[in-house]
Copies of this chain bind each other. A is one copy, B any other.
Amino acid sequence: MREVAVIGIGQTKVDEHWDKSLRELAGEAALAAMVEAQVDHVDSVYVGNMMSGTANQQAQLGSLIADWIGQRYTDAVKVESACSSGSAAFRMGYLAVASGEVDAALVVGVEKMTDSPGNEITAALATAADADWEVDQGVSFVGLNALIMQRYMYEYGWKGIDFAGFSINAHANAVHNPFARFRTKLTEERFINSPMICDPINLMDASPIGDGAAAAVLVAASRLSKSSPKIIVAGSSGATDTISIHDRKAPLWLYAAEKSAKEAYQQAGISHEDIDLFEYHDAFTIMAALSLEACGFAAPGMGPSLAKDGAIKLDGEIPVATRGGLKARGHPVGATGMYQLVELVQQLRGQAGETQVKNATFGLAQNIGGSGSNIVTHILKREN
């Protein structure tokens, strides 16, 4: 396999983009990545997106976006794995370049959620759960996460306030990210007083939806000068679990997250101790805790302690959500995985401004589809 490098990134602000269509959002991020990469042609386009069929009445985003960005006739497909679609598309781009078939691949994650009529978005998000065995019983996607959090608190004795640190940290970092949706500080008081959405998940435990796109250009690393600094894909792994939570061996353990993280560590030849920052999938604070545990940063049931003792801050043991995370940057579902990877690249290049993690060499990004059923983990590395 060929070594693969990221040579260009682009993103839109996560927001309610009432004035921009799906293709315009994707195009903005994709063209920014291509301009930065200084390429005017790519061999393949991989689009990460979850719900364009239901939310935007549009299939085949590969063709739609390739044409819009001046890459008409190029090989292009959409890759979907619910909320991990963005990084699943990145993994496809990685494999295509690694195989030798493709010299330059563009990956773009895009989602447009805020101008769909009626209740379509809640219904579209519920397609990430099991239609026959979960949704048919009337449970929403937030409801499923609330069940996990409820059980977790019961088993390990945590209170709702113990999860506040995850959201406070995310908002503190988002203040400095011009692409983040909510650039406002969050206080513990405001967290406590947030309305309950689905007990025990309150409004500040939950990430907001949004419209947005993030993109990257991948090429064979051999194409780059040996002496210049570069960002390479040091690990890439996907793993699945049952969609239905009731079918899992242990509902409080993200087995697929553990498996894909271990595989990625192995590929990169490192352990979790070598990771300098972690862009995790904090769709809900309970997922933040479970991700930290599955990836080796906390013992089972001890995730919230990292939020309480400050280990997740920029100068802590394992900085997370350094650009705002899903909680404050926003969670345009199928685009999120690409936002995470774009943010890792910013950090590894030293372009993260006020939220720069010092001397970052290895960055970890983990994207979760469903409530733990499709997990894609990447490790990016700065070389030279």
Contact = CB atoms under 8 A, between A and B. Distances in A.
Interface of A: 1, 21, 23, 44, 50-54, 56-64, 66-67, 72-82, 88, 91-92, 95-96, 98-102, 123-124, 126-128, 130-132, 135, 237-243, 247, 255-256, 259-260, 369-370, 373-374
A242 to B, nearest CB: 5
B82 A80 contact: no
A370 to B, nearest CB: 6
B73 A77 contact: no
B98 A81 contact: no
Q: How many copies does the complex hold?
A: 2
Contact of A96 (B73, B78, B95): B95
B131 A57 contact: yes
A42 to B, nearest CB: 12
Given A57-B135, A62-B240, A63-B369, 18 more contacts: A44-B238, A51-B53, A53-B53, A57-B127, A60-B127, A60-B374, A61-B80, A63-B82, A63-B241, A63-B242, A63-B374, A64-B243, A67-B241, A73-B241, A73-B256, A77-B91, A95-B96, A95-B102
Contacts of A124: 53
Contacts of A128: 59-60
A374 B60 CA distance: 8
Contacts of A130: 58, 64
A86 to B, nearest CB: 12
Contacts of A50: 53, 59
Nearest to A64: B243
Contacts of A58: 127, 130-131
Given A63-B370, A81-B63, A101-B95, A75 B241 contact: no
